[in-house]
Structure 1
């Protein structure tokens, strides 16, 4: 097949084509491409007739494009498709659970299905998502991305669409791939090695293939880049960080700046290590975090097929992968946890003891009343032990980083296995059958290291001259939280950290799928081709569990977020489906072809839990394709899709963890120790803050959420019902005969999700209360504050924070336009091919509670409410030039500028920092252009050498500052999943085939 024909086939039914640099030389090395590319029209339908015209637009990413980009993981290439929104991947550090996902149209990474050769793979975790790290890239022929409702064809979960990895078929011979990459700064080494062998069996009656791969990536820390070396507060541009650090252990409330008054706040340990003061030094956690998460991965893929006779073929496929991912974040510590301190603690100085004793028990009453008199304080300091009549204790809060003990590390060891066996054959010349069964299992062990245990630092603060009063069996030693940096010794840390904790997550899925497909001897009077159909039935069984050790379950790890209680659950689904594709008119004056496609699927769910009702759903689709002349084809689809609640949404226990939040209407002090502009709550606002648990002594000194995160409480809900989505597309394919090799596609899409399963955004939970202030407002009553400082951070066993419970009360919607332009031309001996694929997103909205919460628009906006950036406009434009054995290809990636969602009410910093070139404006990001250059040389018939320079002009990412967005996406003063943070980097690759 020549490149002209290939391009024409690839574009049939596709919206975006990234296979931009296919050449005769490249095609000659893989005859398999012709067969696999013809399968593009199968994605989105169970009907297996390659001659049919489909109405659903499909984006295509070829294996050739993957080679040009030097792709190491499947998630990387999918993230670059215009219109897609970055999900959790290698660039995410704080929030990365060791997996990589895809997020189609920004609807959520749990609202799409990942397929391999059109078949479901077992999910990797309790939210029902498949880990893209398990994909064997060496055997991927192409990737089809169908966005919009696809539940009729593939079952529930496909609200956002499907990603279908098509593997090479009937591979014969030997292929070895090797690549190495490194940044211009000499860090972040990446390596990839794969060997694939395949052979025909029994004179061509079958084929078997085996592929083994290994990939590894080294860490790149944010401290290794100038723009992220320091954490910069988005509101003033100052070098900042977290409110707890190594140099200023803080007790009690945060420091009221300008108040040198120990009666209002105990303050921070000063540099001499013996006194408290009001000085504030934020902890710069940036250098500890990552822009490239280190991993090591092994993949094994095997497949075979064999014709048992002329009418029956057996086929099988097995996939195994083992992944090791390390996520590293800033040191553990005590993040405002409540503690009790003995006043005869051996490391407590006289000045510090006096500050504890002199603390005003209630500064709001206007009468100074110290906790203890000076005489009582002196006697308590001289107490021999806790049985001494003069022994005294004080209750307070502790804020301190464990910089002496190093960072928090989560080591994720994951293994994945999926095996399928099927039989297919012919019923007649035009009708065939296929039945397949598969079983998949994933296991992940998370080992957490470097965490202080809350119980142990509490025990280490209850100590006297002769040692600890509690937990002596574990070797408790008094800890010096009253000294300056270095005061926590190795012996102290050995006790405080206590060891490692583990969480094991398992998921398995079994399925049986059968269908009959073919063509009936029926056609309309105006068409020659007959009715194509598919009917089938499916059964799937899901089961998932999480088992944690006692330490992880207890929530005793300081800075680990939510505790990890055990959980398990499962459900089953039985389904029946039918599809048709009927040419209505062919070769007429007004219609070279007019065809109709339609489908319906019925699903019955049963949930494995006492008292849980099952449910059933019906999904359907319809589409039209009309070619009035050969040059143009119009197409339109409508789909009704559903997403059933997953195991996590159904069975998760109620727990308190962390969520992104910068502002608190009750707070008066920012995370930098400065007044935050809210002032002191008065009137009804003060009453509400008190009713939520804030003590009267804290009013006027309530701190903002620590490190831009507040506590939140949420959990599963067995009463959840499936989400329902309507999606439709309308567009055209233009292939003018007068301009050979030109193909233009334009498609409008519109997707709405009603009754969406979601938690409120943090701001929604606040607005529900503070926009309708009343102590009797249930939304106000549901918020829980610290009884010590009145904030929304602290001990999760006491401070429940914001209520963010799951419900079916939300809605999600998005619409926009996808377009592609593909063209090629020869200039003598030079062949030029050009492919442009782009997206314009008109709207992307989320409403937590329909008719009540804000219907939040997130296109081109970033904030704590809009997680990842959804640009209004983006495109990829690849131009490739081929001469003899040489090929040069340039990829231009464009992302339109974005704005801070709250710029009108919470203006961010504008200024010129000392340590970065250019001007910061955290209120907006400019248009972002980045270029990648690839050179390829076909050294000989079976050897190809490829070199890629990514981020050719070393473009720095736009900066947004810290705390301006969701923690999992706003990191290193930017959005590393959206913008390139690594700088110019080089990749070389070699492929040998025999």
Structure 2
């Protein structure tokens, strides 16, 4: 068995060794000349102690450069997305909710709970939440990627709760290598082009090495309208086209007529649907409201352009001192494209003599509200005579002049789709020195500084203030405001009624800039103590170190972006954020071989570590924390090794969690308990809805949130405390002597996080109020903290007037997950070819989130194997089982490799389904829409259409052929999704908008279809 030996660390190698992982190193055609033997190799990751004979107690999942090449991955996010145990997070498949970056989520516990490293070192984060953008990782020079679960807290930082992902670059690269690749879907779209050039050389008789790598990548969009399964916006509850209520022609909402005696809504004899109005192109009332199909504009693959430079160098100043440096720079542009902007429930005041206002709609506006008391008789706002006179009023000074205030939902396809261009400029520079104090003790000192600037420029967004001004029109050329630049806008016509001049007036560009930085200094002394325990030969290893880090982050928005409700469809304001904190840390690790080369004790090793962290938060004091780990391994013989590790981890709140002001954004909510007829028959429910700000006149006509998106008030909190986690693993490594080319590891992991820094789920916020609606609930803070639209009574609409749900960041939650990882590798010589097989599998037993542990009624939500709005609390879907199998046949000049990925069956979350059924029944709507039993006797209920209630297991196959054309040229061709497996259909309203898009979950399931990729690598 070969062990990696880092006795002389070169630049690019972590000044540290990584924990035990089993890696298959197959002999492919192009490395036959390099003498690869196909033997297994122990790769060490996860300790500061540089002992070449050390095998650590913590499992690591390793992805090699060869695997990346066979897959033809273009960005680091693609490499990690397909690993079992990694839950898809923000990446190239996310369109609505992507801020121009890609992140990794280990174990489904959130992208903020792991550390991304390059050669064992932190790199500058890219957002206010401290996350590293994977788009900045230079794939061309990556030798392997190590994913370590848990037990990394003393080695890499107290905040490595779920572990670390370490990208390790090639060391001492010499020569020239140029790689160019192209990828395209079978539909002819989604083209991706990438080219990388790397040059390196040794100098001064091998005392030094320098490497420079330059890369460029460009990716085209894939529109959801280009795939039949995603062209129409489907409702997950009815399996019918739903679209968005922000549509063409416009929808107008006002207060439904209210009987002043009974207090109940009376019946408008001329207008259906209570307070919601819409007219067609002819000015006639629309009995069935038109909705807008937004899917065709959205995308499955975000347009992406990247230019990156990576350089590293190291030089041996003397036999005992080496200096090294590395720097990287990237400039990325990510574009997200979504359906056109408009007025998404913003308020406007319309004059009844507006030249564009149809008479039918004018009469309906006049019919809003109650003008006088009566005995149950319908009384309009304005009498027919007042309404007719107002239609011919000459202006505001005319005594017959009248106006009404309503909410406006009008899509503006005349302006074009909403486009957000995110341009990120990133650099990170590190310099250091290392050497030996004695033959067995080394030192290392290094410092680094990095910055990221992300500028979001949004185009084609309309302004609500312009809608308000343009709705008050004197005539077709002037507005009542007297603003000479104002262009009156026809809000009442069909698509096309907004002229280019009107569209130009309504829309403006806007920008938001995010800047982050990380400065760090670290010093380490490591080696061995020079003596061993009585029963061992290997000396006791140790490491002592200290480091300092300072984080800063700012978000600066222009006036349009920071004004609530101003940008139509922006999902809330982008407030200014400015925060910083620094941390001083000291740590120590020890690895002690206790027994070696004894019967049943080929080795018995103990390891432990401790880290002290002192946080200082700008303007808010600070706190200190302790983290530690303890573990060990035992090899009784016969190629068997048992290993285990326990650690206490701590994650301090990041800048976003601390310093973000309260602002209104969007969350997902399919059913509003106040919607429909339920509040008209349930007095307690009615009282609660009114206490939340719903006008009494809206009771009975409140609608569910448009496109299942409700408003939510979110924000940071300077009083937050660190969250605490206990993680442990126990496992077995087996490398049998009778099967020398086989190795296997199986490990159980368990991660529990208390005092979770997070926000309550929308379902939990609703349940806290509505699960026990009583007369007292109208004054319950859990109910009154929810604030409704003051005009429509709903939970969506203008964020300047509708705070919606209340979900500030707190320390009240708990997260838990556990499961098993299985890794196997085998290689053999078949005579006519070599066969190499690798297997990586994960079984997740549980993944739970309790939003409020202190409340005994708070649900401990289980999300393994389930999908729903609430089960998107950290990322996309977490299946119970998943694995990746790769089989490779290596011939003389050709390698054939097949990758088989399997994703287990998943189901709609039972708790969410029951909540939806209860809400539908309470609202007076049938829960059996689209169900096999239309009579409603189905004992299980059926809110969600049956075909959307589960997804069968999915299989994906990738086939690669690699040709060793000559000593210097390698040609690779890959067919991804070989069988063209179509994604499962689930509709657009069953999960979080970020991950449930195009009627599926495109981050989990392949929405692009069969793809072809070719590449050529020239090396000298």
Q: Does TM, scored on the shorter chain, surpass 0.5?
A: yes
Contact 2:470–2:486 under 8 Å retained in 1: yes
Q: CA deviation at 1:203?
A: 1.2
Alignment of 1:547-562 (within 5 A): 547-555=556-564, 556-562=566-572
CA distance in 2, matches of 1:143, 1:880: 20
Q: SS of 2:635's equivalent? A: strand
Q: Determine whether 1:619 maps to 2:624.
A: no
Q: CA deviation at 1:24?
A: 4.6
Contact 1:268–1:278 under 8 Å retained in 2: no
CA distance in 2, matches of 1:116, 1:428: 28
Alignment of 1:57-456 (within 5 A): 57-252=59-254, 261-262=270-271, 265=274, 267-361=276-370, 366-456=376-466
Q: Per the alignment, do residues 911 and 70 of structure 1 end up closer, same or farther by CA in structure 2, a change over 3 Å counting?
A: farther
CA distance in 2, matches of 1:738, 1:33: 18
Q: 1:502 aligns with which of 511, 514, 525?
A: 511
Q: Deviations over 1:75-97 (max 9, x none)?
A: 01101111110000000000000
Q: SS of 2:126's equivalent? A: coil
CA distance in 2, matches of 1:23, 1:681: 74
Contact 1:889–1:933 under 8 Å retained in 2: yes
CA distance in 2, matches of 1:24, 1:373: 86
CA distance in 2, matches of 1:694, 1:799: 10
Q: Per the alignment, do residues 849 and 581 of structure 1 end up closer, same or farther by CA in structure 2, a change over 3 Å counting?
A: same
CA distance in 2, matches of 1:259, 1:151: 65
Q: Determine whether 1:800 maps to 2:803.
A: yes
Q: Deviations over 1:117-155 (max 9, x none)?
A: 000101011000000000000100000000124221111
Q: Deviations over 1:25-54 (max 9, x none)?
A: 34357789999x97831x211111121010
Q: Determine whether 1:581 maps to 2:607.
A: no
Q: SS of 2:466's equivalent? A: helix
Q: SS of 1:278's equivalent? A: coil
Q: Deviations over 1:555-605 (max 9, x none)?
A: 311111111121101011000000011111000001101101110000001
Aligned residues: 969
CA distance in 2, matches of 1:349, 1:400: 16
CA distance in 1, matches of 2:999, 2:93: 13
Contact 2:733–2:745 under 8 Å retained in 1: yes
Q: Which runs of no fewer than 5 residues in structure 2 stay unpaired?
A: 7-16, 258-264, 918-927, 933-944
CA distance in 2, matches of 1:198, 1:536: 32
Partner of 1:860: 865
Alignment of 1:9-28 (within 5 A): 22-28=26-32
Contact 2:321–2:433 under 8 Å retained in 1: yes
Q: Per the alignment, do residues 910 and 733 of structure 1 end up closer, same or farther by CA in structure 2, a change over 3 Å counting?
A: farther
Partner of 1:763: 763
Q: Determine whether 1:491 maps to 2:517.
A: no
CA distance in 2, matches of 1:745, 1:185: 41
Partner of 1:475: 485
Partner of 1:916: none
My pick for the range that moved more, 753-762 or 849-858, is 849-858
Contact 2:612–2:626 under 8 Å retained in 1: yes
Q: Per the alignment, do residues 257 and 182 of structure 1 end up closer, same or farther by CA in structure 2, a change over 3 Å counting?
A: farther
CA distance in 2, matches of 1:470, 1:565: 32
Q: 1:832 aligns with which of 832, 835, 860?
A: 835
Partner of 1:642: 650
Q: CA deviation at 1:285?
A: 0.8
CA distance in 2, matches of 1:409, 1:970: 20
Q: Which runs of no fewer than 5 residues in structure 1 stay unpaired?
A: 7-11, 669-674, 913-918
CA distance in 2, matches of 1:254, 1:298: 56
Q: Deviations over 1:189-232 (max 9, x none)?
A: 00110000000121111100000001111000011111111111
Q: CA deviation at 1:789?
A: 1.1
CA distance in 1, matches of 2:948, 2:333: 36
Q: CA deviation at 1:851?
A: 3.9
Contact 1:335–1:706 under 8 Å retained in 2: no
Q: SS of 1:44's equivalent? A: strand
CA distance in 2, matches of 1:993, 1:322: 26
Q: 1:661 aligns with which of 665, 669, 672?
A: 669
Contact 1:96–1:327 under 8 Å retained in 2: yes
Q: Deviations over 1:443-466 (max 9, x none)?
A: 011001111100000111111226
Contact 1:15–1:819 under 8 Å retained in 2: no
CA distance in 2, matches of 1:30, 1:361: 87
Q: CA deviation at 1:350?
A: 2.1
Partner of 2:936: none
Q: Per the alignment, do residues 257 and 29 of structure 1 end up closer, same or farther by CA in structure 2, a change over 3 Å counting?
A: farther
Contact 1:55–1:624 under 8 Å retained in 2: yes
CA distance in 2, matches of 1:885, 1:568: 57
CA distance in 1, matches of 2:2, 2:614: 47
TM-score normalised by L of structure 1: 0.94
CA distance in 1, matches of 2:577, 2:460: 25
Q: Deviations over 1:347-398 (max 9, x none)?
A: 0122221221123438997321111112211221111122222111111111
CA distance in 2, matches of 1:77, 1:258: 59
Q: SS of 1:755's equivalent? A: strand
Partner of 1:748: 748
CA distance in 2, matches of 1:879, 1:93: 33
My pick for the range that moved more, 309-318 or 148-157, is 148-157
Partner of 1:9: none
CA distance in 2, matches of 1:551, 1:215: 32
Q: Per the alignment, do residues 617 and 970 of structure 1 end up closer, same or farther by CA in structure 2, a change over 3 Å counting?
A: same
Q: SS of 2:89's equivalent? A: coil
Partner of 2:849: 846
Partner of 1:628: 636
Contact 2:174–2:202 under 8 Å retained in 1: yes
Q: CA deviation at 1:15?
A: 7.8
Q: Per the alignment, do residues 211 and 909 of structure 1 end up closer, same or farther by CA in structure 2, a change over 3 Å counting?
A: farther
Q: Per the alignment, do residues 257 and 103 of structure 1 end up closer, same or farther by CA in structure 2, a change over 3 Å counting?
A: farther
Partner of 2:938: none
Q: Per the alignment, do residues 474 and 742 of structure 1 end up closer, same or farther by CA in structure 2, a change over 3 Å counting?
A: farther
